[in-house]
């Protein structure tokens, strides 16, 4: 379908088939990222279940866990259901006028046809920082928003790469994965907060009557988990977010068969150091790249601590991964 987007490349595409080895490299890269994401999700569930079991042993009352789960799920499902409206309002996005931006609209429309996805709602954010994001509860209710700075700084092939990346987030159901991760982080945080409050006010309930060394060990484990579990849960959530970015890059390359466009877009975005005016930590993981403009100030080799607490992989790693795909 790429000839629809770029008629000038039609001759090249019709006279050269992509080698099987290169195509397999793309699919292998995508499959590896999917496996890593679900491995992290499995570990995440294990952490949550472990925390829940320890706290239930300390309190001797599993009903508290059910209440925590109910409220955590309720808040996050509501956030997931209305995520598009909330995020668009936070960033003051306006619908793209097809009459005013026919070429921009046509690029997204052609990519949508090529991907087999429904046409998402298309929005524009008036901001000089080049960036974009996708949100919505499913492909039928998806939204893609781009900044005015993205349109000013990127050429057509680069813009196509960014939009293909965002469409890949929709096709890969990344909004659902992110919501599940947020639910689990919220669950762990609520449990930890409840436990620490009960310790502070001396109200461990029936657990005080449960004497013995075994209970003392569980109590120490519970205190340790209440401190470390929210941090560990957040780190796993961030790791999942980074893996989904790699996956969207690979999927976008599969859609356009032109990873150089996406890599070039990343380089241009990295050279812009100013943040998006409406950037917040709550929505940072949604964006194509870190909306705070920090990547351009990073050293050539990103410190491990920076990687661990980032919502996105370092741009140099994303570019290197795209270049390794070797599809021309």
- Rg, the chain, Cα only: 23
The tokens of 271 are what?
């050279």
Pairing of strands 132-135, 143-147: antiparallel
Helix orientation angle between 83-90 and 63-81, rounded to the nearest 10 degrees = 60
- Cα separation, 55 vs 207, in Å, equals 10
Catalytic residues: 166
Pairing of strands 143-147, 121-125: parallel
Which burial class, exposed, middle or buried, applies to 317 when counting CB atoms under 10 A from its CB (0-12, 13-18, 19+)?
middle
DSSP 287: B
CA angle, corner 151, sides to 149 and 153, nearest 5? 65
Do 312 and 241 contact (CB within 8 A), yes or no? yes
- Cα separation, 143 vs 140, in Å, equals 9
Continuous H helices in 257-327: 259-270, 304-308, 315-325
The tokens of 311 are what?
């919502």
Q: For the sheet with 121-125, list strands across it.
A: 94-95, 121-125, 143-147, 132-135
DSSP 91: T
What pairs with residue 146 in β-bridges? 124, 132
């Amino acid at each position: 379908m790429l000839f629809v987007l770029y008629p000038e490349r039609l001759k090249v595409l019709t006279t050269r088939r992509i080698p099987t080895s290169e195509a397999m490299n793309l699919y292998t890269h995508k499959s590896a990222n999917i496996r890593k994401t679900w491995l992290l999700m499995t570990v995440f569930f294990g952490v949550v279940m472990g925390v829940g079991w320890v706290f239930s042993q300390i309190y001797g009352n599993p009903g508290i866990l059910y209440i925590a789960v109910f409220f955590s799920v309720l808040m996050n499902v509501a956030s997931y259901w209305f995520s598009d409206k909330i995020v668009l309002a936070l960033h003051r996005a306006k619908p793209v006028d097809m009459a005013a931006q026919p070429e921009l609209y046509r690029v997204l429309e052609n990519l949508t046809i090529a991907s087999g996805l429904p046409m998402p709602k298309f929005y524009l954010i008036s901001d000089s920082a080049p960036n974009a994001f996708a949100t919505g509860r499913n492909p039928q209710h998806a939204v893609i928003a781009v900044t005015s700075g993205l349109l000013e700084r990127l050429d057509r092939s680069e813009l196509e790469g960014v939009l293909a990346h965002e469409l890949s987030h929709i096709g890969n159901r990344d909004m659902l994965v992110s919501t599940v991760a947020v639910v689990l982080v919220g669950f762990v945080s609520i449990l930890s907060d409840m436990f620490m409050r009960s310790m502070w006010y001396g109200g461990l309930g029936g657990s005080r009557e449960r004497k013995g060394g075994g209970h003392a060990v569980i109590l120490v484990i519970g205190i340790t988990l209440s401190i470390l579990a929210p941090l560990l849960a957040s780190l796993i959530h961030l790791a999942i977010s980074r893996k989904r970015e790699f996956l969207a890059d690979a999927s976008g390359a599969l859609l356009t068969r032109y990873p150089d466009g996406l890599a070039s877009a990343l380089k241009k975005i990295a050279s812009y150091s100013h943040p998006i005016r409406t950037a917040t930590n709550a929505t940072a993981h949604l964006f194509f790249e870190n909306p705070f403009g920090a990547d351009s100030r990073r050293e050539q080799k990103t410190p491990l601590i920076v990687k661990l607490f980032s919502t996105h992989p370092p741009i140099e790693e994303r570019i290197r991964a795209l270049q390794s795909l070797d599809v021309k």
